[in-house]
Amino acid sequence: MALILPILLAVLASVLGGLYMLGMFRKRRPNEPPLDKGTIPWLGYALEFRNNTAAFLQRMQKKHGDIFTVQIAGYYFTFVTDPLSFGPIVREARTKLDFEQFAAELVARVFGYHSGTNDHKMLEKASTKHLMGDGLVVMTQAMMDNLQNLMLHNVGAGNSEGKWHQDGLFRYSYNIVFRAGYLALFGNEPPKGKEGLEAAKKHDRDHSDELYDEFRKYDKLFPRLAYAVLTPKGKMEAERLKRLFWNMLSIKRTLQKENISGWVTDQFQYRAENGMPEHMQDRFMFLLLWASQGNTGPACFWLLLYLMKDPEAMQAVSEEVQRVLKETGQEVKPGGPLINLTRDMLLKTPILDSAVEESLRLTAAPVLVRAVKENLNLKMANGKEYAIRKGDRVGLFPYTAVQMDPEVHPEPEKFKYNRFLNEDGSKKTEFYKNGKRLKYFTMPWGAGTTICPGRFFAVNELKQFVFLMLTYFEFELVNPNEEIPPIDPNRWGFGTMQPTKDIQFRYRLRY
Ligand code: HEM
């Protein structure tokens, strides 16, 4: 008996400790947002959140209103769904709401990369220098050269004129834009021997195509990898792919290329100066490849598809493209030089800009997450204040909160190419909710300190791709009546969405 009591007490203590760890005792305190732990201990709403983030958050918003705390895999997330109240979260000091902790855990799991100090600063510095302002002029030219190599290497060769090719529109767009973006950032094969430049260009085409195939394998595994729910077979494959990319993108290999972007070389240099071991820098390169190439290709697919399904939009964009070419004295003609699209030209396309913004509104859906470093009070736009606990997380999902809100964007499910244009043709930035002007009316790039540093380059890539498609190719859907495929709900939260299935199209060179 003397022995049984301590054993029973120990069992009771560990059961209570376990239940505590599982979050069973958490109660809503005064001034805290509504708390919903779900029915499964610890997991809470993890499964519903993962299966369809958008549907889950819409359901919770209906149930609880504009702010609520839900349990997801052991963490308590407070979601704010009123876009008028986004400001304080996006602008809150990092000492209170920090993004790096959450990001560091995720990148360690998915890329095997363990970040060092000043990581984010180094990324910001290289991005400001090379993906914005004057740096963007160089990057736009590099992207153009590589798009031409991939899309137009047959122009004038006489062997492909008039011949129709059939492909999946998603596959085609993703493949071309991934490869051109990769080559523009990570460099080209240097010309060697007597075959010289043409052989090097062919090498770029073949090598980037192989890399794309491997990247897509990883891309498909990505959501399950991020949620740590891969099968053992999936885990092995993800591990193989990670190693392959660490090796393919390693510093040693990359430095053998030419035309490597300043964005990539500066990252090498900053990290080396910061004492990061080379093998870890190789892993970082995979992260850069993912961040830079995982979204733009799918975004090009949606843009082209929306234009193809909307003849009025297609005509408006085509006329604008023709006008810009004419203004710069360029004409596409058989045997003539390839057109060049500079950064300056891409600044003169308000209609295409609006179409890009609109297709991103419909298909870019990141979840923005911040870790709560100290207890804080969150003031909502309606004046109410809520207490948020240290150790929790705060989340925003602008897709349902604002991008698809019919009050902000009437008929939100429709693609309206001129939604972001004023009557006088200038860029529209005035959108309202509850009669108040919104600062955050669409957020494909996130916001605040973590806003996508590649956004200007990405928009240029999208526009260059559309420009070249419209000027050099005839293209059409194989079945013009086929509906736009639905969004794959497994990828909510990771950036640009992908379709549940591809849609066949055919294309041929005009010249
Ligand atoms: C349509 C294309 C793209 C979309 C929709 C997109 C969207 C995003 C979003 C939503 C984030 C995270 C924001 C957050 O957590 O608050 C992000 C981060 C990032 N993006 Fe993009 N992106 C695109 C293209 C690009 C390109 C072309 C590059 C580089 C050339 C790039 C580089 C990055 C990097 C490095 C980060 C991490 C930033 C950090 O850790 O602070 N992205 N992007």
Residue among 227, 291, 290, 173 nearest 492 (CA):
227
Q: Indicate the DSSP class of residue 391.
A: T
**pLDDT at res. 20:** 56
For residue 297, being part of any structural domain is answered with yes
Residue among 89, 178, 301, 223 nearest 492 (CA):
223
Range of the domain at 357: 119-366+444-509
Is the pLDDT score of 403 beyond 60? Answer: yes
For residue 248, being part of any structural domain is answered with yes
Query: What does 112-159 look like in DSSP terms, one character per residue?
Result: -----TTHHHHHHHHHHHHSSHHHHHHHHHHHHHHHHHHHSTTTTSSS
Q: Which atom of ligand 1 is nearest to the CA of 369?
A: 15
Tell me: is residue 109 an annotated ligand-binding position.
yes
Collect all residues with Cβ–Cβ distance below 8 Å to 333 and sequence separation of at least 6.
511
For residue 52, being part of any structural domain is answered with no
For residue 259, being part of any structural domain is answered with yes
What is d(CA 511, CA 497) in angstroms, rounded to the nearest whole number?
34
**Total structural domains in the chain?**
1
Q: Which atom of ligand 1 is nearest to the CA of 99?
A: 15
**pLDDT at res. 6:** 65
Q: Indicate the DSSP class of residue 66.
A: S
For residue 400, being part of any structural domain is answered with no
CATH number at residue 309: 1.10.630.10
For residue 282, being part of any structural domain is answered with yes
| Residue from 122, 174, 452 to probe ligand 1 pocket by mutation (most atoms less than 8 Å from CB) | 452
Tell me: is residue 491 an annotated ligand-binding position.
no
What is d(CA 509, CA 496) in angstroms, rounded to the nearest whole number?
29
Query: What does 462-495 look like in DSSP terms, one character per residue?
Result: HHHHHHHHHHHEEEEESSTTPPPPPB-GGGTBSS
| Tokens at 455, concatenated | 């956004």
Q: Indicate the DSSP class of residue 188.
A: B
Residue 431: pLDDT band (50, 70, 90) is very high
Tell me: is residue 159 an annotated ligand-binding position.
no
Q: Which of 17-21, 242-246, 306-310, 478-482 has the lowest mean pLDDT?
A: 17-21
The string of pLDDT tens digits covering residues 319-355 is 999 999 999 998 888 777 888 888 889 999 999 999 9
Q: Are the C-beta atoms of residues 324 and 345 closer than 8 Å to each other?
A: yes
The string of pLDDT tens digits covering residues 190-211 is 998 777 889 999 999 999 999 9
Task: Look at ligand 1, atom 34, and give the residue with the nearest C-alpha.
Answer: 291
Q: Are the C-beta atoms of residues 71 and 36 closer than 8 Å to each other?
A: yes
Residue 501: pLDDT band (50, 70, 90) is very high
For residue 392, being part of any structural domain is answered with no
Is the pLDDT score of 432 beyond 60? Answer: yes
**pLDDT at res. 226:** 93
Cα(12) to ligand 1 centroid in Å equals 48
The string of pLDDT tens digits covering residues 15-45 is 555 555 556 779 999 999 999 999 999 999 9
For residue 428, being part of any structural domain is answered with no
The string of pLDDT tens digits covering residues 447-492 is 998 899 999 999 999 999 999 999 999 999 999 999 999 999 999 9
The string of pLDDT tens digits covering residues 140-171 is 999 999 999 999 987 766 655 578 999 999 99
CA distances for 58 relative to 65, 155, 415, 418, angstroms: 10, 49, 21, 27
Q: Which of 69-73, 82-86, 154-158, 449-453 has the lowest mean pLDDT?
A: 154-158
